[in-house]
Structure 1
Amino acid sequence: MSICHLSVSVIGPGHLLNGQPNQDSVLVKRVPNGWLAVVCDGMGSKPHSDIGSRQACRAAFDVIKTVDFNIESKSLIKRIYQHWLDSLGNMTANDAVTTCLIAWVSDSGELRTFQIGDGLILTSQQTTERSDTNDFGNITTGLGKSKQFSDWQVTKQQLKVGDVIALMTDGISEDINQGMELAFVNSIVESTDGKSIRQAKAWLKNEFRNWGTPNHTDDKTLAILVLS
């Protein structure tokens, strides 16, 4: 089973206006016996959230490329968290808090997902969402804030050829009408069919920069994998 993939991260108008960096990060890479997609959203109130999100993507890849696909979930998460802490150097974890969404799919189509904090992971067969909302905004859990395995949402499912996996930050997921998430992802897959990777990325970046929700401010990051 092979994978076609597309990933894009676009800085939000709010961060552009304030001269801040994009605090989202995304990584899609081949790993032994499968593929890995990671999407992370740094907590905007933290001074090094952009570094935290970038290093979280890297930590997930560095750990997952060295372990067996059937590694126990708690052990995997503990390794990723420790690797992330080590990668921060002199920075404190509390200054680099980030959400972390991980999709790890084997060459036989078995999918494992791991999520801490806001955002959305969905497939053609199932949607899983973890959202911690309150009136103050930007208050969520994530790497650097929680050390509890119970704060992670972990799933496993078997996919087939033609199925889609998508990971997105809440800058996208919160603006999609509930129940329309898969239709949104499928429309992107259809609209980019036949385009080169470069053309598809340019088209999707343009869509995100001209986002239909009035007064949107947040960074927008999406990774899509299609099993073929």
Structure 2
Amino acid sequence: MSWQLFGASAIGASHIAGDLPCQDAHAYRRTESGFVGVVCDGAGSAAYSDIGARLVCAQVVDVLADAITPPETLTAEVARDRVAWALAGARNRLARRAVAESHALKDYACTVVGAWMGAHGGWLFHIGDGLGVARLASGDTVSAPENGEYANETFFLTGRDWTTHLRMTPVESGCESVLLMSDGAMGFVMDKGGRQVYAPFFDPVARFLRSSDETPGNEALQATLADARTHGITGDDKTLLIALAPPA
């Protein structure tokens, strides 16, 4: 059996009020022994960050999913190099588009949080805010947001120092589920400290998705993220990607 993969992005109330597009994006793909998933959050101040987020998600997922070597067999240095190579390719594609459209590269700014998983573990990779978490029987392995000097400041793939801010987190064998999310979803998916998944939200969602096919599961997740009750928690766009491991 293969991993069950689900994902949704919902526009935030502040974006609706400001007549802005949803600037979050996500993509995922199964591999022979695991999956690759990526969530990108476009910078609110960047004019074409929605385009940047979609392009980066799609390209990074495709490049890593085509890799032959299982990710869990790679050393930390090699895994980081391969993720950086995939990210650099997406960044270069953004740069070419910016030149062709007479835009600046920073107009496509987005954060990145992703998972590259095989049958016996893998890696979380991360630039900027948002959050990734791998759930194991021993507890949650969390890739936390990285903010700048101020709480609303973060780092983007389009920044000159993006490689400095690329963080890799190993995931051990026995992972039961992986969650990737933009910062807009963190307020109800994670506990108040952001250190572990908020079980009253996730457990019923996971039970439903376990018994669901991909399309209805994605539709249900989309409806959950778009629920008006989330507007009291955040006005931001919300993206959540959930990967459920096959039964042991």
Q: TM-score, normalised by structure 1?
A: 0.87
The answer as to whether partners of 2:12 and 2:231 remain within 8 angstroms in 1 is no
CA contact (8 A) 2:29 2:62 kept: no
SS at match of 1:105: strand
State the Cα deviation string for residues 156-199 of structure 1 (Å, max 9, x = none): 122327x0111010001145422552523333102334233333
What secondary structure is seen at the aligned counterpart in 1 of 2:110? coil
Give the paired residue count: 225
Give the alignment's Cα RMSD to 1 decimal. Answer: 2.3
Shift of 1:63: 2.2
Could you give the per-residue CA deviations for residues 32-70 of structure 1, whole angstroms, max 9, x where no partner exists?
543101111011100110111111112212321343333
Report the CA distance between 1:83 and its aligned residue. 1.1
Q: Paired residue for 2:53?
A: 53
* Structure 2 residue 178 is matched with structure 1 residue 165: yes
Q: Retained in 2: the 8 A contact 1:63–1:79? A: no
- Residues 36-185 of structure 1 correspond to what in structure 2 (within 5 A)? 36-67=36-67, 68=69, 69=71, 70=74, 72-88=78-94, 89-91=96-98, 92-106=104-118, 108-125=119-136, 126-132=141-147, 137=152, 139-160=153-174, 163-175=176-188, 176=190, 177-178=192-193, 179=195, 181-183=197-199, 184-185=201-202
Query: SS where residue 141 of structure 1 aligns?
Result: coil
Seq. identity, %: 24
Structure 1: 5+ residue stretches without partners: none
1:7 aligns with 2:7: yes
Q: 5+ residue gaps in structure 2? A: 99-103
Change (3 A) 1:25 1:212: closer
Conserved? CA contact 1:123–1:164, under 8 Å: yes
Q: Specify whether residues 181 and 134 from structure 1 end up closer, same or farther in structure 2 by C-alpha distance, changes over 3 A only.
A: farther
SS in 2 for 1:131: coil
Give the secondary-structure state (helix, strand or coil) at the position aligned to 1:181.
coil
Does the Cα contact within 8 Å between 2:29 and 2:65 map onto a contact in 1? Answer: no
Aligned residue number for residue 225 of structure 1: 243
Amino acid in structure 2 at the alignment position of 1:170: D
Alpha-carbon offset, residue 215 of structure 1: 6.1
What letter is aligned with 1:112?
W
For 1:148 and 1:201, the matched residues in 2 are separated by 31
Asked if the contact 2:129–2:145 (Cα under 8 Å) also holds between the matched residues in 1, the reply is yes
- The question of whether the paired residues in 1 share the 8 Å contact of 2:43 and 2:109 is answered with yes
